[in-house]
Amino acid sequence: MDPAADRRLTAGLFMVTLSGLMYEVLLTRIFSVTMWYHFAFMAISIALFGMTIGGLLVYLLPKYYREERARYHLALSSLLFSITILLSFIIHLRFPQATLSSMKGLLPLGLTYAIISVPFIFCGICVCLALTKFPAHVSRLYAADLSGAATGCLLLVLILSITDGPTAVIAVAFLAGLGSVFFAAANGGKTLLRVTAVCSILLVTLAVANGILAASYRSLLRLIWVKGALESQPVYEKWNSFSRIRIYQDPKTLQKPFGWGLSSTYSSSRNFNQLGLTIDGSAFTVLTGFSGHLERLDYLKYDVTNLAHYLRRDARVLTIGAGGGRDVLSALVFDQKRVVGVEINQAILDAVNRKFGDFTGHLDKNPKVLFVNDEARSYLVRSKDQFEIIQSSLIDTWAATAAGAFVLSENALYTIEAWTTFLKHLSPTGIVTFSRWYLGEGEVPLIYKLTSLASASLLRFGIESPRSHIILVKNKSIGTLLMSREPFSQKDLDTIEEVSRAMQFEIILSPRFAQDSMFEMIASGKDLERVAAQYPHNIAPPTDDSPFFFQTVRLSDVWRRLGEFRTNAVPILGFLLIVVVGLTGLFILGPLVFTAKKSVLKGSFPLFVYFGGIGFGFMLVEVSQMQRLIAFLGHPIYSLTVVLFVLLLSGSFGSYLTRKIPDFRWKHSAVWRLLILQGTLLVFGIFTPLAMRHFQGATTPLRILVAAGICIPIGIFMGMAFPFGIRIASALSRPLTPWLWGVNGSTSVCASVAAIVIAIGSGISASFWAGFLCYGIACLAFIWAVQRRVENP
């Protein structure tokens, strides 16, 4: 290959995989807004599904995708990838998206899956051609593949920090078009080069124009349907890599006071200026117009979420999820000593304290108030402060993180380890208070689970009788749980009963009363595992190894609860697993039926096992490590910019290293490196939980270094596996390499869903060790394939 053409080919593949990863992760953001958060992890299966089809087309059409025309098809497929990104996204926006409140939603979901997968088919054709038609250069090309994807992680975070999601889609299409320009230049044809260049210029012009118009909410390409409803123009909108916030309503219009659990006894006719803020089109918080007169906000004393303030006066307060500032205002209304508002989303803090600072009264300038941009659990672990009240009021956003396609860890705040951390940072008389929806029978399992979590956390903290430390009070559709370090005093209980009578709240559980026997058994802390196992739903307290608080449907009950798509992700996950397993079988076995020369398949079984093993293994290890480290790093953006980026980049380096292995010894060297990979996974599988516990209180830069140090050795050796496989496959049966690439992709589709299923059913650690086992099987298959090569040179 000509050196200049070689460089252009490498650059083209780099740009295509960069844009492919960017679009894949960007779809998690788009799906979280247009549909629901638990559809976001569909993006990875859609991407891998489309790319697998692309690889299989290369295998099934060998006369069309001839080796001598590989560069032309690289340019053409990458150009079509670029164009169809934009076209399929426009179609996706034109019809209402699935909310799946019933089985009828399966049709639009299927259409979405089909339409969005089209660009990835062309991406798959392009990547498959690059990695299978130039086997002598596969080490360098696969390195370009992984490093492009790694760079895409960082670039997407940057793009979403300066523009909106739809504009980012156009930008990704332009980057894919730039890849086609490099491929066309490598091909040497002037006509195709001109076409790719013109398309790229048009796309970058459209991206700039749409970005400028988006700043004033007049963009050409914008989200039309959100959660099945038409969306109106906002007062303010801001995207980032893990949310889209919108502020709406007229700031000058007076409204009735907003309250999650406002008492019906509040009778004032006073109205207020308020703005609504939504996260991903669903989660809601309010910005309250505040002129400095706290006495005007007396309605906050009538909200069930603020019960703890009646028990602890002149307190140091920490609010988890400061949002629009309502809980901060509540602490000020009760004249508490100090309030720290921890908010993970910088975009919300900027909106509340800067963009609308005059409206909200610049709470950040109040000497009693400190706003912190951090994840609350991570902040507390590093903090030496103690608080009388730690408050969390309906902080659940139903929004997917940037890594939502890879992780379903939901919320690291709802685990035994997290609540034990909260207890450690309370003063001796301190109270943790969590408020959640309590919408009749549908939310009862989650309320039981919340109580179970409190009981298990108190037991872990060393308290033998949790019942005397737990109070649960309900008003309308909101339940508030109070958990204390010391037993609630008789004075505390009298105060709760007095306030509840006055405001017509309903006491569900206290040391004096239990509404039903289930609350009583859970709060007692006795045989908690047995009590949880006997209940029809999963109400077992979550742990860091299984942090799925919101998943109350057991995997064994998936078929029985397929109608609960909107409120529970497990049925979606079960349905998706069945679909991808079926499709994987179809795309692995189907091409074999159409293989004209059956002799080509002779001796292919160990290769099939090898590529399937590394496909499963890579994804299981990647997803489980991201799930483990997301709570450790503390911020969702780090799971993308650190864990995924480091794994891909180190994998790229590992692949590049394999190019230096000479032909006469590469088989022997490959076996040793695969065995070292097994040893590395074993060491870090054991080491990762220990490192997380030891360094969880360290500074953010040190925790990032630790996470990177864990991922780099794993990534380097995992990155070597694919080039080794292509080289042995090319030696044994070169026409099979596109099919084997498809096997690798389709098994990755399965693994992307299976990793979550295993984690929910048996824990994140089980998912990691399943990946370890897959690599072990792949290693044995490689040795088998090498032996066949020796026997049949």
Place of tokens 């130039």: 134
| Contact call for residues 636 and 630 (beta carbons, < 8 A) | yes
| Contact call for residues 308 and 496 (beta carbons, < 8 A) | no
- Among 170, 202, 227, identify where a domain stops: 227
DSSP letter at 292 equals S
Q: Please, what's the largest Cα pairwise distance for the chain? A: 90
Is residue 738 located within the same domain as residue 785?
yes
Place of tokens 């009778």: 267
Q: Which of 471, 467, 524 is nearest to 497 (CA)?
A: 471
DSSP letter at 451 equals H
Can you say whether the dihedral through the CA atoms of 614, 55, 725, 782 is positive or negative? positive
DSSP letter at 543 equals B
Here the CATH number for the domain that contains residue 52 is 1.20.1250
- Of all helices (H) and strands (E), which one includes residue 233? none
Residue 397 belongs to some domain of the structure = no
Q: Which of 53, 474, 430 is nearest to 263 (CA)?
A: 474
Is residue 512 located within the same domain as residue 634?
no
Backbone angles phi, psi at 432, to 5 degrees: -100, 130
pLDDT averaged per 10 residues, the chain (length 793):
80 96 88 69 74 86 90 96 95 69 60 87 94 87 93 92 94 97 90 94 96 89 82 89 87 88 89 90 88 93 97 97 94 97 93 95 96 91 94 72 37 89 96 90 85 97 96 95 97 97 96 95 94 92 88 71 52 69 71 59 81 93 84 73 88 89 70 90 91 86 91 93 88 81 84 84 92 95 78 54
Residue 115 belongs to some domain of the structure = yes
Is residue 565 located within the same domain as residue 537?
no
Is residue 498 located within the same domain as residue 601?
no
Q: How far apart are CA 390 and CA 574, in angstroms?
A: 36
Is residue 529 located within the same domain as residue 581?
no
Is residue 527 located within the same domain as residue 611?
no
Is residue 595 located within the same domain as residue 665?
yes
Residue 790 belongs to some domain of the structure = yes
- Among 170, 199, 227, identify where a domain stops: 227
Q: How far apart are CA 193 and CA 105, in angstroms?
A: 43
- Among 494, 517, 541, identify where a domain stops: 541
Residue 263 belongs to some domain of the structure = no
Contact residues for 554 (Cβ-Cβ < 8 A; gap 6+): 537, 538, 570
Q: How far apart are CA 377 and CA 212, in angstroms?
A: 38
CA 475, 417, 626 angle in degrees (round to 5)? 110
Contact residues for 33 (Cβ-Cβ < 8 A; gap 6+): 165, 223, 226, 244, 280, 281
Is residue 461 located within the same domain as residue 559?
no
Is residue 140 located within the same domain as residue 190?
yes
Residue 567 belongs to some domain of the structure = yes
**Structural domain containing residue 63:** 1-227
Structure tokens at 146: 């992984």
- Residues facing 287 on adjacent strands: 275
| Contact call for residues 369 and 343 (beta carbons, < 8 A) | no
Is residue 519 located within the same domain as residue 603?
no
Residue 2 belongs to some domain of the structure = yes
Residue 779 belongs to some domain of the structure = yes
Beta strand spans in 334-386 (E): 338-343, 369-373
Please state, as a whole number, how many other Cβ atoms lie within 10 Å of the Cβ of residue 343: 25
- Residues facing 226 on adjacent strands: 229
Name the domain count of the chain: 3
Q: How far apart are CA 217 and CA 223, in angstroms?
A: 11
Residue 94 belongs to some domain of the structure = yes
Is residue 484 located within the same domain as residue 576?
no
Please state, as a whole number, how many other Cβ atoms lie within 10 Å of the Cβ of residue 731: 15
CA distances, 315 to each of 334, 340, 394, 694 (Å): 9, 11, 21, 31
Is residue 453 located within the same domain as residue 529?
yes
Q: How far apart are CA 748 and CA 760, in angstroms?
A: 18
DSSP helix/strand/coil, 238: strand
